[in-house]
Structure 1
């Protein structure tokens, strides 16, 4: 007999759907970036309609990420220099970095830890996109950036209760974090995160990439496979050399071979190369995404 969840699933989904909406400009930009036929001019015009967003984007674009050599003075310049994918991630960063930078004791995360991992995943997704031997849509970096946003919703909705509930369920059933969430909530942080993304009006590819980032099978979409792989890599990228955590998450995630096959990547050579490239890029550009 299956034990019912400890919380009301409908209440939790309602909480996810009620998260503060994104400005129309951001949702529109996400739709444009997901359209392979959209041009730079339309993307730049959309961002330029929001004065506050434009100022924040230019501040981030002119961080040490560009080495301080050439100042970006217009949204169009930012689009050309950064690329639509990175630009969308930076725009989203301006809206979610504060919430994702908080400590999440229920998940054993110190202040800033979740945000660093999320940025690392976004950067890894960009590198995966450049290395994959199959086309990967530009919005994959944004899906990777938001892949764990559901953790924030769960923690903020339940507060201190979530710590006791997750700990109790884990001790009782001896299962991992994802299964513990299913026991307690009847769904996972991936389900909650995808519900938020859908409520925000983000493209279906981003919604699916967030929802499926812990799935590992050959029927996944290219975006979902890339986000799942970027999630695994984010632990490698942000954890110190020799840290137990660097290999622990990959083991929890299971066999990543299906993800590599979907992306037409070599499991040994490409994995280590992408992690190394992502780590170097993360150390160089992480301040772009700072709040």
Structure 2
């Protein structure tokens, strides 16, 4: 496809971003409150309960075995009292992702379940890696890891429409990854589109840069959040959770572990932990 043709498609892709509903204001307010030194859980509960869908998803997620609560909780206040701030932040963001990832992504060969589970698993992997790396404030990491593939919802129709062209390019150039062929045909990949969407939603630059960088080996080494997001995504795909059409494109780049601040000995226990928690979430959400 000519550069002019790819440019025209890219214009259509970015225009589509204007029609994707904004990230819930309820969640944005709650995330801002969670940045305070002393969080008032009563105030947090007042904010979150105004969105029934977020509240329902929060309680469904928190009652899964993945979060290890000693008893079932029926209210937000009960949940908040038993969770750490980082866990609350994680579950809050996770509770919002389902509405964006609730349809099949045919261009990427993913079902709605696979899309959401992949995002949740990547977030759980990031949590496990961050703890072992000694990252005390991983809030931007959680956001980036959970939303790293958000660009696929805007790009999917275009990928589906050009899938034969993408596959033909890969067939003729077997050294190319799916994303490289995607770029050649569409003028962008889902990482660029996702970063632009999160920028429009006014997420911190650290978040949308990590999303932009999670497949780009030159960029993912530039910040720790980007490195951890990329590593979490790679390990999640290697575990087989929602890899889709580009499943064989994943390997750990040189220097990524050092950029993430993660030792090689941290990988196996992180994989085991994330796998077990992901299976617990799958059982809670889809059984």
Which band: TM-score by shorter chain? Answer: 0.7 to 0.9
Q: How far apart are residue 195 of structure 1 and its match?
A: 1.5
Q: How many residues align?
A: 281
**1:36-51 equivalent positions in 2, closer than 5 A:** 37=37, 39-41=39-41, 42-51=43-52
Question: CA–CA distance in 1 between the matches of 2:260 and 2:115?
Answer: 26
Q: 2:164: which partner in 1?
A: 164
* CA deviation vs aligned residue, 1:38-83 (integer Å, no higher than 9, x gap): 6253544432343443344223323454568512233233234343
Provide the aligned C-alpha RMSD in A: 3.3
Segments ≥4 residues shifted beyond 4 Å:
2-5, 64-69, 287-291
Corresponding residue SS for 1:6: helix
143-152 or 47-56: which moved more? Answer: 47-56
Q: 2:126: which partner in 1?
A: 125
Corresponding residue SS for 1:102: coil
Corresponding residue SS for 1:278: helix
Q: How far apart are residue 111 of structure 1 and its match?
A: 4.5
* CA deviation vs aligned residue, 1:178-200 (integer Å, no higher than 9, x gap): 21121112221001111222222
Listed as ranges, the gaps of 5+ residues in structure 2 are: none
Native 8 Å contact 1:25 1:49 kept in 2: yes
Q: 1:237: which partner in 2?
A: 239
Q: 2:262: which partner in 1?
A: 265
**Structure 2 vs 1, CA of residues 184 and 287 (structure 1 numbering), >3 Å: closer, same or farther?**
same
138-147 or 227-236: which moved more? Answer: 138-147
* CA deviation vs aligned residue, 1:193-251 (integer Å, no higher than 9, x gap): 11222222323222122111113357522211111010011023346xxxxx9x94433
Listed as ranges, the gaps of 5+ residues in structure 1 are: 240-244
Q: 2:272: which partner in 1?
A: 276
Q: 2:59: which partner in 1?
A: 58
Instruction: Using structure 2 for the length normalisation, give the TM-score.
Output: 0.82
Q: 1:204: which partner in 2?
A: 205
Native 8 Å contact 1:178 1:188 kept in 2: yes
39-48 or 190-199: which moved more? Answer: 39-48
Corresponding residue SS for 1:193: helix
**1:188-203 equivalent positions in 2, closer than 5 A:** 188-203=189-204
Instruction: Using structure 1 for the length normalisation, give the TM-score.
Output: 0.81
- 1:224 and 2:226 aligned: yes
Native 8 Å contact 2:17 2:154 kept in 1: yes
